[in-house]
C-alpha cells in the first residue's frame, strides 16, 4: 500500500487500512477511468459555492488534462493557480453482509489535489485534446480528421498538477460484526459489478465501405 508520504491533512485518506499512497497504484486507477468528478469553487464573493462536474480527462505523467467548452463556468472562471480536486472511482462489487450495518462496496478510488492552469499554448492544447481522445479510444487520432480552428477556439483546456494524491481500495468479503452472525441463514458475499464497453452502434450515416476502426477494439480491451 505504500508509506504515507508527507501530505497536507486534506489529502490524507481516512480509514488508513484502505489507504494507498503508491503513485503507480494511483496512476493505475486513473488510467482505466472514464470520468473524473472535478470539484471547484464558483461564484463571486459572498455567493461562492462548491461545484462538482463530471469530465473526461487524461493523465500525462504528473499532470491531468481536462477540457470543456470555452464558455462553461469552470473553464471560463478558473483563475491561474486555482486549487481543484478530482476523483475517479471504480465500483467492483456490492458487499452483502448478514446485517445491513455491515453492507459495503468493493471499490478503487483515486483522489487528486492540484493546481489548475489554463492551457493557452496552441501546441499544448492540441496535444492535451489528443491525449484525452486517446485515453478514451486508443489509436483514434490516426483515424479522424484534424481539428478545425473554430473547434479549437471553442474548446478550453485546463492542466492540473498532481500535487497530492491518495487512493482507497476495498477488495474483501463482508466483515460481520459478531461471530454468531455467521450462523444465521442469511446469504453473505460479494455481487461483482462488471464494467465494459458493448458492441459499437453506428450512427446510420457511415460512408460505403467503412469498417470498425482498431481504436474501438482497443478501447473495449482497455476498459474491460
Res 103: pLDDT: 96
What are the two backbone dihedrals, phi and then psi, of residue 47, each rounded to the nearest 5 degrees? -140, 35
Identify the sign of the CA torsion 141, 144, 146, 152: negative
Strand 164-170 vs strand 82-96: parallel, antiparallel, or unpaired? unpaired
Percent of the chain with pLDDT over 70: 92
Q: What's 146's DSSP letter?
A: P
| Number of other CB atoms surrounding residue 46 within 10 Å | 5
Q: Which CATH superfamily is domain 9-177 in?
A: Electron Transport, Fmn-binding Protein; Chain A (2.30.110.10)
Domain parsing of the chain, residue ranges: 9-177
Judge whether 4 and 12 are in contact, CB under 8 Å: yes
Res 2: pLDDT: 53
pTM of the predicted structure, to 2 decimals: 0.89
pLDDT digits (tens, 9 = 90+) for 55-112: 999 999 999 999 998 888 787 777 667 899 999 999 999 999 999 999 999 999 999 9
Res 81: pLDDT: 72
Confidence of residue 4 (pLDDT cuts 50, 70, 90): low
Res 195: pLDDT: 86
pLDDT average, residue stretch 203-219 = 95
Give the span between the Cα atoms of 49 and 62, in whole angstroms.
28
Q: What's 201's DSSP letter?
A: -
| 77's grid cell | 472562471
pLDDT digits (tens, 9 = 90+) for 131-164: 999 999 999 999 999 999 999 999 999 999 999 9
Amino acid at each position: 500500500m505504500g508509506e504515507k508520504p508527507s501530505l497536507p491533512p486534506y489529502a490524507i485518506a481516512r480509514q488508513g487500512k484502505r489507504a494507498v499512497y503508491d503513485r503507480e497504484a494511483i496512476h493505475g486507477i486513473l488510467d482505466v477511468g472514464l470520468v473524473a468528478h472535478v470539484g471547484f469553487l464558483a461564484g463571486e464573493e459572498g455567493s461562492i459555492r462548491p461545484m462538482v462536474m463530471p469530465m473526461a480527462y487524461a493523465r500525462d505523467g504528473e499532470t491531468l488534462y481536462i477540457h470543456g467548452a470555452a464558455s462553461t463556468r469552470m473553464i471560463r472562471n478558473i483563475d491561474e493557480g486555482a486549487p481543484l480536486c478530482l476523483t475517479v472511482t471504480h465500483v467492483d462489487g456490492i458487499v452483502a453482509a448478514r446485517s445491513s450495518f455491515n453492507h459495503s462496496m468493493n471499490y478503487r478510488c483515486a483522489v487528486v489535489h492540484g493546481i489548475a492552469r489554463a492551457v493557452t499554448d496552441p501546441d499544448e492544447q492540441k496535444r492535451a485534446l489528443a491525449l484525452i481522445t486517446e485515453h478514451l479510444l486508443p489509436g483514434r487520432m490516426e483515424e479522424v480528421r484534424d481539428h478545425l480552428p473554430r473547434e479549437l477556439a471553442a474548446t478550453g483546456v485546463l492542466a492540473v498538477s498532481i500535487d497530492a494524491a491518495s487512493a482507497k481500495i476495498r477488495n474483501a468479503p463482508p466483515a460481520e460484526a459478531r461471530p454468531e452472525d455467521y450462523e444465521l441463514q442469511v446469504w453473505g458475499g460479494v455481487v461483482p459489478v462488471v464494467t465494459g464497453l458493448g458492441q459499437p452502434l453506428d450512427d446510420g450515416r457511415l460512408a460505403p465501405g467503412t469498417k470498425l476502426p482498431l481504436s474501438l477494439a482497443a478501447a473495449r480491451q482497455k476498459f474491460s
